[in-house]
C-alpha cells in the first residue's frame, strides 16, 4: 500500500464542486477504407471536472509560454480509469472570459503529480 493510494479520489471529493464540467476528446484512430486509403474513426469523448485559468506573467516569461496559451486543470479521478490527457487531445471547458461558455482547446503539454490527482494542461 502506498501513501499515494486514494489521493486522486480525495481530491475529487474535496474539489469536484469547484471545477466545471469539461470533456476530454481523444483523436480517433485510422483504419483502412478498403480502397487503398484511410478513414478516421470516431473520436471518443470523456466527461471530466476541469478548470480554465491563465499562467502568471512570471511563468510565461520564465518558461517561454505564449500569451495565447491557457492553463487547464483536470481532476484525474474525474476521468475513467486508464484515460490520461496527452498532447494532441482536445479539452472542452467553461471559459470565464466568455461568460462560462464552453471553449475547446488543443492540449500542447501535460504535467501532473505522482498520484495522478491533478493534471495541468497547457492548452492552445
Domain boundaries, the chain: 7-28+40-123
pLDDT at 2: 67
Half-sphere exposure of 46 (CA within 13 A, CB side): 20
> Quick one: DSSP state of residue 29?
P
pLDDT at 39: 79
Q: Which residues in 57-83 are b (16+ Cβ under 10 Å) and which e?
A: eeeeeeeebeeebbbbbbbbbbbeeee
Cβ atoms of residues 117 and 75 within 8 Å? yes
Distance between CA 74 and CA 110 in Å, rounded?
A: 10
pTM: 0.85
Residue ranges with strand state E in the chain? 20-25, 30-32, 38-40, 45-53, 70-75, 90-95, 101-112, 118-123
- CATH code for the domain defined by 7-28+40-123: 2.40.10.270
pLDDT at 102: 95
Q: What is the pLDDT along the chain (124 residues), one digit of tens a residue?
A: 566 778 888 888 888 889 999 999 998 777 788 888 887 778 899 999 999 999 999 999 999 999 999 999 999 999 999 999 999 999 999 999 899 999 999 999 999 888 899 999 999 9
pLDDT at 1: 58
Cell of 53: 485559468
pLDDT at 70: 96
Residue listed under C-alpha cell 466568455? 98
Amino acid at each position: 500500500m502506498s501513501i499515494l493510494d486514494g489521493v486522486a479520489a480525495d481530491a475529487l471529493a474535496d474539489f469536484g464542486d469547484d471545477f466545471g464540467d469539461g470533456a476530454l476528446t481523444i483523436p480517433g484512430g485510422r483504419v483502412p477504407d478498403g480502397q487503398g486509403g484511410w478513414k478516421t474513426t470516431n473520436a471518443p469523448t470523456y466527461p471530466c471536472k476541469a478548470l480554465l485559468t491563465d499562467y502568471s506573467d512570471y511563468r510565461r516569461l520564465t518558461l517561454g509560454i505564449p500569451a495565447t496559451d491557457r492553463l487547464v486543470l483536470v481532476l484525474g479521478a474525474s476521468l475513467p480509469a486508464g484515460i490520461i490527457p496527452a498532447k494532441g487531445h482536445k479539452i472542452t471547458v467553461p471559459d470565464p472570459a466568455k461568460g462560462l461558455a464552453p471553449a475547446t482547446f488543443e492540449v500542447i503539454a501535460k504535467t501532473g503529480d505522482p498520484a495522478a490527482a491533478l493534471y495541468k494542461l497547457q492548452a492552445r
